[in-house]
Structure 1
């Protein structure tokens, strides 16, 4: 009965057309706020997905790093145990260290990352090669793949030049035995032959050079099994959290097992914070719509005084009257949310298929705003509308319930 009354009051023509107009203004305002929220949140999801896809080309699904210090020592038995963990697909050992690279008269500082032959199975850098080949072989000298920013800084021609790049790296005990008069004695040096160039994004392109792990191990005088990290890829149906817990239990507190999000915690936290800030600000559109709802319902209560009096005379409790007008408010909020969801889905689908709204500048990896709709956003916005609808309807509904019966004698 409650919803029958509420629907009748919503659809019926009012004695004053302003009541109908304000009610539909409330519906439209809620629809606009809902559509804006879903669309903007979907754009943030699109950018987050784009960043994750870029980072997945370089960072593994799981990464084992030392809890303190720069290196960890992994025995063959430990590697075998990790490989046997259900869900683990491939393991790749790596060594990272900063180095000075010199090519002719040009030089720059880069992070030299030594990887083994399993690296291509835990990352996707080989799919981002823009010049040359992904070749880290050591048959005629160690070869290396440069980020496009490093290639530009050194002026290297990876496809035609046979001139090696000189690598200089501090010795591990250089801080103790540093000789200011002859600083070269505190450096280890070697040469690498550029074979290819990768382009992922600036953070990687201007920072990393990939080389054979044996080159780094010899240059840094590391022991067998001593690495900077162990990179792990998982099987498609594996649980990232479960595998992480098992590997952490195997290796103990001397190491940290990081997911891809934890490896890039700063960028992901910033993106999530921005998304929540936008959600809060756009929710004010719904709050403004709530004021329209309060006005509309308050005027409806005044118009329906006679109906309220009759219902109370027939024995209706105050709670029933209150629920009727609460239902009226929820109908307005529900109609607006359905309309808003429909508009948002249409906008997102059009953007996904046709990319009508372009990114400016022309220097991005994509030319249009990316969009991904997530069901969690629809749930969040629905709950937000429900809460705002109930709060906005509460005062007019309470006022209607407290209305005093005034029966006139004839």
Structure 2
């Protein structure tokens, strides 16, 4: 049996001659537990928002997107893209042309992004799940070109789901010089009509800016005949995404980039990770402050056990073993606080998931969810536990050695 650990355990759970030491020890455990609980809950809330955003993007973004590394477009008949399309794991592949334009509807105007897609776009994405209105998803019919507008863009332009008239779209010509005497000649003008629906991804960058239309319309508008901005792909069920992506990147070489959903929204998720990391750092500082209570508890315990230290030395205990007794005492307080904090934090997360105890305040009902989303990731729990132990152990190491050596002398 580890002698210092055995003595430290007895000191921790036995009554002290001065009752206030027990109280301070309890406060130390509670302080560490509260800081640990805050870490668990806060990081789980960040995970909840991360997972929520990721789930929303699946309705619009492709599973895999292939984009040129240089320039905005690439030839649609590029042999590299053809080889990627023909991979056995590919279920659906659709070409897309996307660029900025200006839209005008009944005197209102807005800068938009026109995304031209092929007719199989509904097979690639979950666009039908996010449509609102009495119509259906359609890009063209005979000579008519339809435009499916984001719900916030429709609101900005004064549209309904079944808006009447034409949405005029203007894009600058790719060739020639702008004649300032007749600036309208420098733009390509075309128009789309409503299929009776709008879409709502519940992401501002889509709902506020995007108009979905046929790829033929977009190519004509932007002068990109035979070109594509990206090749969007959905894999067959059961395919290994990482393995297929690596194979596609090997085929694409340096000419194209192969992006999964997370990489397509790299900026959004990078910001969320930074916010989560900053929250982790701040809460770790709070944890370090809470660990100062352990120092106070241990210093009083060392004074209280002065006679015991003399007895232990007479029984043959070395100075190193005596120091380790109080080090183990501080470590056990940290470990108990960490375990209690994690358990309470997990309980609170479960209650939030099931009952939504903490709502989004007066704004609830205006967002996708009414209560703060929570998602517990096992790796976060492991990191939190290691962090608490490391901070707790580091905070007591020098003070315990200092006070214990003074007592031993």
CA distance in structure 1 between the partners assigned to 2:31 and 2:179 by the alignment: 73
Alignment of 1:182 onto 2:185: no
Give the structure 2 partner of residue 261 of structure 1. Answer: 262
Give the structure 2 partner of residue 90 of structure 1. Answer: 92
Moved more, 125-134 or 73-82: 73-82
Contact 1:325 1:393 in 2 (8 A): no
Deviations 1:53-112 (A, max 9, x none): 222222223222222211012426434421344654432210012222233333332111
Give the structure 2 partner of residue 210 of structure 1. Answer: 212
Q: In the alignment, which of 8, 11, 16 is matched to residue 9 of structure 1?
A: 11
Classify 1:284/1:177 alpha carbon distance in 2 versus 1 (closer, same or farther; 3 Å): closer
TM-score (norm 1): 0.90
Deviations 1:376-409 (A, max 9, x none): 2211111111112211331354246636768xxx
Contact 2:63 2:235 in 1 (8 A): yes
Give the structure 1 partner of residue 132 of structure 2. Answer: 130
RMSD of Structure 2 on Structure 1 (CA): 2.3
CA distance in structure 2 between the partners assigned to 1:25 and 1:297 by the alignment: 12
CA distance in structure 1 between the partners assigned to 2:383 and 2:332 by the alignment: 18
Classify 1:302/1:396 alpha carbon distance in 2 versus 1 (closer, same or farther; 3 Å): farther
In the TM superposition, what is the alpha-carbon distance from 1:251 to its structure 2 partner?
Answer: 1.8
Classify 1:223/1:289 alpha carbon distance in 2 versus 1 (closer, same or farther; 3 Å): same
Structure 2 matches for 1:273-312, cutoff 5 A? Answer: 273-312=274-313
Alignment of 1:149 onto 2:158: no
TM-score (norm 2): 0.91
Contact 2:306 2:407 in 1 (8 A): no
Give the structure 2 partner of residue 381 of structure 1. Answer: 384
Classify 1:324/1:121 alpha carbon distance in 2 versus 1 (closer, same or farther; 3 Å): farther
In the TM superposition, what is the alpha-carbon distance from 1:294 to its structure 2 partner?
Answer: 0.8
Contact 1:294 1:395 in 2 (8 A): no
In the TM superposition, what is the alpha-carbon distance from 1:249 to its structure 2 partner?
Answer: 2.1
Give the structure 2 partner of residue 248 of structure 1. Answer: 249
CA distance in structure 2 between the partners assigned to 1:394 and 1:111 by the alignment: 59
Give the structure 2 partner of residue 169 of structure 1. Answer: 171
Query: Structure 2 stretches of 5 or more lacking a match?
Result: none
Structure 2 matches for 1:4-403, cutoff 5 A? Answer: 4-75=6-77, 77-85=79-87, 87-131=89-133, 132-159=135-162, 161=164, 163-173=165-175, 176-195=176-195, 196-200=197-201, 201-224=203-226, 226-235=227-236, 237-360=238-361, 361-362=363-364, 363-399=366-402, 402=405
